[in-house]
Structure 1
């Protein structure tokens, strides 16, 4: 039977569902193997929950595992399984499409309202920004590598990534990031802090890079430009030791 992406996910999470359904209270999580097993189930469960898989029948999952391990005859033909997995995949895709449409509409409305706020500047590309702290340092070029601190949020304020929380700024090439950052960084002077409001088409668009960032999301970044790397020093740091 041709393996389906959703089928593989269901099979993995089934190990945990079966255990939870049968004897959750007696599960031990002491050895590395036991802990890793729990971690696999936990991660797959979270993944399936994000895909809207909230109606799996844990008893049916357990029965499937038992039949496979016991080398018993399948209770459902492969053709029926393929049909079932296809139906679930279609449902998941429909949910994602709906969520994407809703995010796109919400993002458009957010940007329209945000553009009216004092201090918010909208560029020709649609990027919006505010100057939070001014400085008169140099501005980076597309070929530069810069050092920055940042915090990325969704429009509802939920943080999805933060160098500030990690306590460590990062170095990155100006031309090697999302278009909203490429443009925003070149507007900044070293020492400045900006707030960027990045339309989905200047961020990740319909391709979500992480479950924390829904497709077609407007992204909000607090961005501080700490410095521009000296090309000679950057090359020296990158060179392997002899």
Structure 2
């Protein structure tokens, strides 16, 4: 995280310096656009760490001193202590947000379980049959590769991934997805369309593969099992 703090600090320093100039730089050349993209990624990293109140003027001053070769105005000892305090504060904020998210998600799952047609499995997975395939249709095994159309959303309706919008189903191994998908796919039959609500502990938990998915998120998927390709082994 300290590396993220330093990198994002550089990005915000650059932004501050730009803001002090008479006009914003053009973003027409590949170098300008790539430079902007690097700064954008670094800034987003800082925000993900919960550090949205950094003093950008102090950041700009540090950048100017570094570029001019001036002596640092803060000792290394004080810098290390300051970064430690900043990291601790960010972690405390993240922990608070995680607790709040878990509480909200627990309430959501309780309410969703009470809706007509929603089935809750022993693991806590919830699913609703939207459309049924053939009653004698094949069911995937954990060793199978399946073809699926899906759209993944957060509980507020935000779409974070969708093969449907891309217009292309995805082929994937049943054993290679999140636990909620592993369970749901083995319950479905070819042709089934389900709405599947996955508790965070059956999804990504406190971790996340994308900034679009906050830690401890309940994930809601519209899933259609299109087919099964038997594992050659």
TM-score (norm 1): 0.90
Structure 2 gaps of 5+ residues are none
What displacement does 1:212 show? Answer: 1.3
Q: Are 2:215 and 1:215 equivalent residues in the alignment?
A: yes
Counterpart CA distance in 2 for 1:125 and 1:170 is: 26
Could you list the per-position Cα deviations for residues 186-222 of structure 1 after superposition, in whole angstroms to 9, with x for gaps in the alignment? 1111111011111111111111222211111111110
Aligned to 2:82, which of 81, 84, 89? 84
Q: Which moved more, 1:175-184 or 1:209-218?
A: 209-218
1:24 Cα deviation (Å)?
Answer: 6.0
Q: Secondary structure at the match of 2:88?
A: helix
User: Which of 24, 27, 32 is the equivalent residue of 2:25?
Assistant: 27
Match among 40, 43, 49 for residue 45 of structure 1: 43
Indicate the residue corresponding to 2:138 in structure 1.
138
What's the C-alpha RMSD, in Å, of the aligned pairs? 1.6
CA distance in 2, matches of 1:30, 1:219: 39
Q: Secondary structure at the match of 1:25?
A: coil
- Partners of 1:5 and 1:148 in 2: CA distance: 36
Contact preservation (8 Å) 1:195, 1:222: yes
1:6 equivalent in alignment to 2:11: no
1-side partners of 2:22 and 2:206: how far apart?
39
Once the two structures are TM-superposed, the CA of residue 69 in structure 1 deviates from its matched residue by 1.1
Distance 1:114 1:19, change over 3 A: same
| 8 A Cα contact 1:16 1:38, kept in partner | no
Using the alignment, how far apart are the partners of 1:9 and 1:24 within structure 2?
24
Could you tell me the TM-score, scaled by structure 2's length?
Answer: 0.93
Match of 1:153 in 2: 153
**1:105, 1:57 → 2: CA distance?**
32
Matched residues in 2 for 1:215 and 1:28: separation? 36
- TM-superposed CA distance for 1:47, in Å, is 2.5
| Post-superposition offset of 1:76 | 0.5
Match status 1:174 vs 2:174 = yes
Q: Which residue of 1 aligns with 2:123?
A: 125
Distance in 2 (CA, whole Å) between partners of 1:189 and 1:197 is: 18
Are 1:18 and 2:22 an aligned pair?
no
Provide, for residues 79-121 of structure 1, a one-character-per-residue CA deviation record: whole Å limited to 9, x for no partner.
1111111111111111111111111111111111111111000
Partner Cα distance (2:115, 2:165) in 1: 28
Does the Cα contact within 8 Å between 2:7 and 2:42 map onto a contact in 1?
no
Distance across 2 between alignment mates of 1:118 and 1:72: 68
C-alpha distance in structure 1 between counterparts of 2:30 and 2:181, whole Å: 42
Query: Within 2, Cα distance between the matches of 1:65 and 1:107?
Result: 42
Q: Find the aligned partners of 2:111 and 2:223 in 1 and give their Cα distance.
A: 21
Aligned-residue offset at 1:231 = 3.8
